[in-house]
Structure 1
Amino acid sequence: MSELSIKIGQLIRKKRTENRLTQESLALQCGIDRSYMGRIERGEVNITILKLYEIAKILKVDPKELLPS
């Protein structure tokens, strides 16, 4: 796990909970498995830029809000 992946996952989880979405509902809207969404949030996988943009769109945030400063 890279430090960057962990921080991105934490930001995705934070925005998801702020939007009152479950991992399952976010994963379903993204077209991925819930367990994979969990791995993203834990920073266990490197997601593509396309997937980051897709998640941001569903969370109604600018993609840069999911990137650490």
Structure 2
Amino acid sequence: MKNLIRSEREEHGWTQAVLAEHLNVSRQTIVAIETGKYDPSLPLAFRISRLFDKPIEDLFFPTVPEAQAAPERSRRRSRAGTRWRRTPTAPAPQGRTVLNPPSSAPQSIPGDG
């Protein structure tokens, strides 16, 4: 997840150690968050948000992997003329409606009773 923690920290004139102390975490945690190697827990993200007096969504935003950004369309397509239609079965009281492709004959499935 990308974030603006480094720029906010620098804007306040704080070192990583000072920010870590304000948040009660290690300096290494701040380094990992700023470099995007670690996504903070939700409670920590809220603490950061309150400390900088900014909404979470202004500080953190997800990155979309390239594979998800522009998914390829499937090359596998259904054949033309394979629409399904509703075909009633014989008028027997226990019969059910069966979906059949247009080219096949209606089928009757006996009821459970």
Pair in the same fold by TM > 0.5: yes
Provide structure 2 residue ranges, at least 5 long, that are not aligned to the other structure: 63-113
* Structure with the bigger percentage of helix: 1
**Aligned-pair CA distance for 1:31:** 0.5
CA-atom RMSD in angstroms = 1.5
Q: Which structure has the larger Rg over C-alpha atoms? A: 2
TM-score, normalised by the number of residues in structure 2 = 0.50
Q: 1-side partners of 2:47 and 2:11: how far apart?
A: 17
Matches within 5 A, 1:7-18: 7-8=2-3, 11-18=4-11
1:39 aligns with 2:32: yes
TM-score, normalised by the number of residues in structure 1 = 0.77
Q: 2-side partners of 1:64 and 1:12: how far apart?
A: 12
Q: 1-side partners of 2:16 and 2:54: how far apart?
A: 17
- Give percent identity, aligned residues only: 26
Provide structure 1 residue ranges, at least 5 long, that are not aligned to the other structure: none
* Structure with the bigger percentage of strand: 2
Aligned positions, number: 62
